[in-house]
């Protein structure tokens, strides 16, 4: 395994190294999200939130049931705020 700096630990790094490994396994139903799927879904969420006007410092509230979509959405919100130059 390659050593990474703290600021390089990102879903995209894990997706590049291990795209087919599980990133999320839901205990209740066994639903699996791979690192590649996690990366793609969080990227989609980030793009959507940026198009909606999310910028650095904005707040996001996520109210949803506990399922495999929560973490990619939360990571997408984090990505959207970090990518903003504001």
pLDDT of residue 86: 42
Contacts 24+ apart (CB under 8 A), 20-24: 23/71, 24/68, 24/71
Confidence (pTM): 0.80
Domain boundaries, the chain: 6-83
The candidate with the shortest Cα–Cα distance to 68, out of 28, 44, 33, 20, is 33
Whether domain 6-83 has CATH 2.30.42.10: the reply is: no
pLDDT band at 56 (very low <50, low <70, confident <90, very high): confident
5-36 tens-digit pLDDT: 555 567 788 888 889 999 999 999 999 999 99
């Amino acid at each position: 395994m390659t050593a990474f700096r703290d600021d390089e630990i990102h879903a995209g790094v894990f997706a590049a190294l291990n795209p087919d490994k599980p990133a999320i396994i839901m205990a209740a139903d066994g639903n699996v999200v791979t690192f590649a799927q996690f990366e793609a879904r969080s990227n989609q969420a980030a793009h959507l939130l940026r198009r909606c006007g999310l910028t650095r410092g904005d707040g996001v509230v996520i109210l949803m049931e506990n399922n495999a979509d929560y973490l990619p959405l939360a990571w997408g919100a984090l990505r959207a705020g970090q990518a903003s130059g504001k």
